[in-house]
Each structure stands twice: as C-alpha cells, then as structure tokens.
Amino acid sequence: MIKEVSFKVRQAEAENFSDSLMEMGALSVSVECIEGEEIIKDEKSFEAEYWDINKISALIKAEDEPLFLALAPFSSLEVPDLDWVLEMQKNTPVQVVADTLWIVPSWHEVPKEAKIVLLLDPRNAFGTGDHPTTNICLEWLVKNPPVGKTVVDYGCGSGILMIAAKKLGAKSVRGFDIDSSSMKVAKQNCLENGLSDPIDLDNIEADLVLANIHLGPLLSLADTLSSLCKSKGTLVLSGILPFQLETLLKAYLTHFELVTVDTQKGWMRLVFQKNGIIERL
C-alpha cells in the first residue's frame, strides 16, 4: 500500500526538507504552493518572495508511515491501488508551445495540425514541457529559433530543450547532465527524435547555451557555462525564483550582459549575452 503525506514548509527550508524525505525512503517528492500563497503582490517586482509557505508531498510505503508521521505532516492519505503507468498516460496530454511546437507522448496520435513535433514520454528525468521552468525556455526557443546555430543544454535532464532546438533549426546540439540516469533518458529521447549522441562537450563553444537547473548549481557553474558560450553568444537560464535574482546576477554579470528577464508562474527565465554589445532578442 502506498500513502501520501504532506507537510507545510517555509521557503528557506524547502529544498533541504525535500532532500531529507528522499533520504528517509520516500518514493517521490513534489513541491507546490499552499493555496493562496501563490498570490504575487507586485508582478513587476523581482524582490517579492514567492512560495513563502510550500506544500511538500511525499509518496511513501505504508509500513514507513510511522517514521514520516514523526515529522508532523498536516495530512496523510491512502493512495488508490491503480495502474500508475496507465493513469500517467491518461493524464499526460499533447502540449502545444506558442502554437508551433507539439510535444507528443507515444500513446497519442500526432495531431494533423501539428507543425513541429517533439516525441517525448514522461520518464525518470526532469523535463516534459509542463513545468514552468521548461515551458518558459521552450517558448523562448520558439520565438527565437536557433537556425544554423550550435546549442548546448547543460543539465539537460530528458533532453527536451536540445531536441526542441534541433527541431527549430539548430545546426548541432549537445547536452550533458551530471545524473547518469538522466543521460540515458536523454539519449533515448534523442534517438526517438532522430538526433545523435548528445554527450560530448569537449572543445566546444556554442552560439546558444541553455541551463534549466536550480540556483545552487547555477552559481557554481558560472565559469563553466561562460567557457561553453561563444563571445557575443546567448545564455538562457531558468530554474530560479525572483528573490534569488540578485544572488544569481552577482555570479553572472562578470561574464555576461543581462538582456531580458521574464517570469511564468513565479519561475524566472534570464537571457544573457556574453561580452560585447547587447543584441535585443
């Protein structure tokens, strides 16, 4: 039997609390806003603190419940015994990004009106297009197609961004993820979409570098991402919240000029240009 336990956790402790749940044996962990906490006081202010209180939910084995109850969850529910693969398939729709890019799971027929098709099943790697951090990057790629450009996706997860870049006209794409299981998923997704092996990043400087990961890794990767990006090349970052913006800019403005900042459901996308004159995108 599987149970779901949910906790109320403040923003500052959310990441460590989630990691602790996984270390305790949680099968999966998800984070979302407590209802009402998602309200933004000033949508134009990057200083607003989003998600001050978070709902962190963990799927656990019923026999492990006493261990998790010691952490004082505000709810504990029995999860129905379902065919979760079938349920996932039924609840994973075709996604359309900016009326141009169709993300189609294998159990759906490709719509006749689809323009550019990316074949992608939910697997054990981040990036199916539905999360705001991924979606906001996909939107940027659709509006700024990298035709004829070399592209690197660092922290590629499922490979969705580099596959999208190739479908949108990139000359070549490369990807890398520190997680070996994600790299296996990325390879499989690339093959299913007609792309070759995405791993090798040696001796490459790309026209466009993408990185959709959390603040901590982004801070430590500033030099690495700069080395992968050509002079006057473009860097697109996502995976941070507005209150983290100042910290991130301190790390990146030594290498890049900031071009644009946009948000989607509280998550931010930053577009930079490396060295030289800014070209508005």
Q: Can you tell me the distance from the alpha carbon of 245 to that of 131, in angstroms, rounded to the nearest whole number? A: 19
DSSP state of 25: T
Q: Higher-confidence residue: 196 or 56?
A: 56
The two structure tokens encoding residue 151:
């592209």
Q: E strands, the chain, where?
A: 2-10, 28-33, 53-61, 75-79, 95-97, 101-104, 116-119, 150-154, 172-176, 206-212, 229-240, 256-264, 267-274
Looking at the chain, the domain(s) classified CATH 3.40.50.150 span 127-274
- Confidence band (pLDDT; 50, 70, 90) for 41? very low
Q: What is the pTM of this model?
A: 0.70
| Of 189 and 45, more confident | 189
Q: What is the Cα Rg of the chain in Å?
A: 20
Contact status, residue 48 vs residue 88, Cβ threshold 8 Å: no
CA-CA distance, 109 to 235, in Å (whole number)? 34
Looking at domain 2-81, its CATH architecture is 2-Layer Sandwich (3.30)
Q: What angle do CA 54, 32, 30 make, to 5 degrees?
A: 105
Lowest mean pLDDT among 23-32, 79-88, 141-150, 206-215: 79-88
Burial bucket for residue 29 (CB in 10 Å: 0-12, 13-18, 19+):
middle
Transcribe 45-106 into DSSP letters: -TT----SEEEEEEEEEGGGHHHHHTT--SEEEEEP---HHHHHHHT---EEETTTEEEE-T
Beta bridge partners, 263, equal 268
pLDDT in tens, 215-260: 889 999 999 999 999 999 999 999 988 889 999 999 999 999 999 9
Average pLDDT over residues 67-82: 80
Distance CA 125, CA 265 (A): 21
Residue 154 near residue 210 (C-beta atoms within 8 A):
yes
Topology of the domain covering 127-274 = Rossmann fold (3.40.50)
pLDDT band (50, 70, 90) for residue 281: very low
Q: Where in the chain is the domain with CATH 3.30.70.120?
A: 2-81
Lowest model confidence (mean pLDDT) among 31-35, 134-138, 140-144, 156-160:
31-35
